[in-house]
């Protein structure tokens, strides 16, 4: 039986979510229809919206459902940029770090290539934390927006979002926060953060794939990406009521016992980190050693390819990743690790182990026990090709 250590990529659907999802799927009715069946679907949808809003410290009117985190991020970044440049005042600059998720990197680079955006890359330190002093000095009237991760999806480092929000608001600059990796693992209060927009996704908290949300502050302006029936404030399209219901159940379950769950995960994470550092030589923990996501452990192993190690661990019965699942199978060093100052050979030896609500201490110990053999074989092989490594 394979042990799942890739919760940062996607999480198993929680039993209560599956039950709610399957119960909602047969419900007939377009939430925009005015007949009784349509209004029944709309009630389901709006109750889900209210639940998700309450889990994130927002108002229900501030929740725009999307097809997932990537769409939410694109809507926020492009929509805010367009809205901020819709008048005679030019605001071409976007403040963004190179250690962001590819949904953000690709969105801002598209704006640079097609819409005249000027990208001002905010440095990150060796832990992947953004340089707040650089941000402070870079904020000015020509900045369209700041976009930042709440928690780095690869190395797990938590970002100083409250401070980022304070600095940007003082200059009248809206902030978008990618909270896809943070939601359900650390407390999030949208209103307290003082940001303009915040992205989340259901499948990261035990919900279904294909459902996400963008929180848009009442005071923020976002130009839609998708036009049609104006079903939502910043997005057109018939809404997925069953998906919203499932997302709401997942959000509620992920947040109602968040503190105790995070404490348990952090204890398992620290147990894993101690075990790995003791069991293998020439290994480094990446990301902040303490101020990180409770279920995230990210390592680089000297002298081997992360892909080789991933393949060998897979055969040994452990599912891990080399970083973002969106880049899986692409033979290149992590842009996050390169932004943190690592050289390419070191960055190519990375493995991310991410724990979830069902992870046990016995599973952590089994991983630590199996790791030295896998690392030894990966170092001996020195290849990233799956067949070559496994046939070595």
15-256: CATH class? alpha beta
Q: What are phi and psi of 118, to 5 degrees?
A: -110, 115
Where exactly does CATH 3.90.1150.10 map onto the chain? 258-390
pLDDT over 70 percentage in the chain: 95
Residues with a known catalytic role? 326
Q: What angle do CA 105, 107, 112 make, to 5 degrees?
A: 95
Query: What's the pLDDT at 329?
Result: 52
Coil vs helix vs strand at 211: coil
pLDDT tens figures, 320-340: 999 755 454 556 899 999 999
Query: What's the pLDDT at 332?
Result: 80
Work out the pLDDT band at 390, boundaries 50, 70, 90.
low
pLDDT tens figures, 262-290: 999 999 999 999 999 999 999 999 999 99
Coil vs helix vs strand at 89: coil
**List of E strands, 83-166:** 93-97, 118-122, 143-149
pLDDT tens figures, 227-242: 999 999 999 999 999 9
Give the pair of three-digit tokens for residue 130.
């953004």
Give the pair of three-digit tokens for residue 174.
């809206």
- Total Cβ atoms within 10 A of residue 28: 9
Give the pair of three-digit tokens for residue 219.
């005071």
Average pLDDT over residues 92-105: 97
Identify the CA nearest to 175 among candidates 153, 143, 129: 143
What average pLDDT does the chain have?
A: 95
Give the pair of three-digit tokens for residue 374.
């896998």
pLDDT tens figures, 149-177: 999 999 999 999 999 999 999 999 999 99
Work out the pLDDT band at 88, boundaries 50, 70, 90.
confident
pLDDT tens figures, 25-84: 999 999 999 999 999 999 999 999 999 999 999 999 999 999 999 999 999 999 999 999
Give the pair of three-digit tokens for residue 233.
């404030």
Query: What's the pLDDT at 354?
Result: 98
Identify the CA nearest to 107 among candidates 29, 192, 199, 189: 199
Coil vs helix vs strand at 257: coil
The answer to whether 308 touches 349, Cβ cutoff 8 Å, is no
Query: What's the pLDDT at 271?
Result: 98
Average pLDDT over residues 122-142: 97
Helices 241-256 and 258-279, axial angle in degrees (round to 10): 70
Per-residue pLDDT for 392 more than 50? Answer: no
CATH placement of domain 258-390:
3.90.1150.10
Q: What angle do CA 68, 71, 77 make, to 5 degrees?
A: 135
């Amino acid at each position: 039986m394979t042990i799942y250590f890739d919760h940062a990529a996607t999480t198993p659907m929680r039993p209560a979510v599956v039950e709610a999802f399957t119960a909602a799927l047969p419900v007939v009715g377009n939430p925009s229809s005015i007949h009784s069946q349509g209004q029944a679907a709309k009630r389901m949808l709006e109750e889900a919206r209210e639940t998700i809003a309450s889990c994130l410290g927002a108002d229900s009117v501030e929740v725009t459902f999307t097809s997932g985190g990537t769409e939410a991020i694109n809507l926020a970044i492009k929509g805010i940029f367009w809205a901020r440049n819709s008048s005679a005042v030019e605001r071409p600059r976007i403040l963004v770090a190179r250690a962001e998720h590819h949904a953000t990197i690709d969105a801002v680079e598209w704006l640079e290539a097609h819409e005249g955006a000027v990208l001002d890359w905010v440095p990150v330190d060796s832990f992947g934390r953004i340089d707040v002093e650089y941000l402070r000095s870079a904020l000015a009237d020509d900045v369209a927006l700041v976009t930042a991760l709440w928690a780095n999806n690869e190395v797990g480092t938590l970002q100083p979002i409250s401070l980022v929000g304070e600095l940007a608001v003082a200059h009248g600059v809206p902030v978008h926060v990618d909270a896809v990796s943070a939601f359900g693992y650390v407390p999030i209060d949208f209103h307290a953060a003082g940001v303009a927009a915040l992205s989340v996704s259901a499948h990261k908290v035990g919900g279904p794939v294909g459902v996400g949300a963008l929180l848009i502050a009442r005071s923020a302006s976002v130009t839609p990406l998708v036009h049609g029936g104006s079903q939502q404030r910043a997005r057109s399209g018939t809404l997925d009521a069953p998906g919203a219901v499932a997302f709401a159940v997942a959000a509620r379950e992920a947040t109602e016992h968040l503190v105790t769950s995070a404490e348990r995960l952090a204890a398992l994470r620290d147990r894993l980190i101690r075990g790995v550092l003791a069991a293998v030589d020439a290994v480094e923990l990446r990301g902040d050693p303490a101020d990180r996501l409770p279920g995230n452990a990210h390592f680089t192993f000297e002298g081997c390819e992360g892909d080789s190690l991933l393949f060998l661990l897979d055969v040994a019965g452990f599912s891990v990743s080399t970083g973002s699942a969106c880049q899986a199978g692409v033979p290149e060093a992590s842009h996050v690790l390169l932004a943190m100052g690592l050289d390419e050979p070191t960055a190519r030896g990375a493995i991310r182990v991410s724990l979830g609500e069902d992870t046990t201490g016995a599973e952590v110990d089994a991983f630590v026990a199996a790791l030295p053999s896998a690392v030894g074989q990966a170092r001996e092989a020195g290849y990233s090709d799956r067949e070559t490594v496994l046939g070595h």
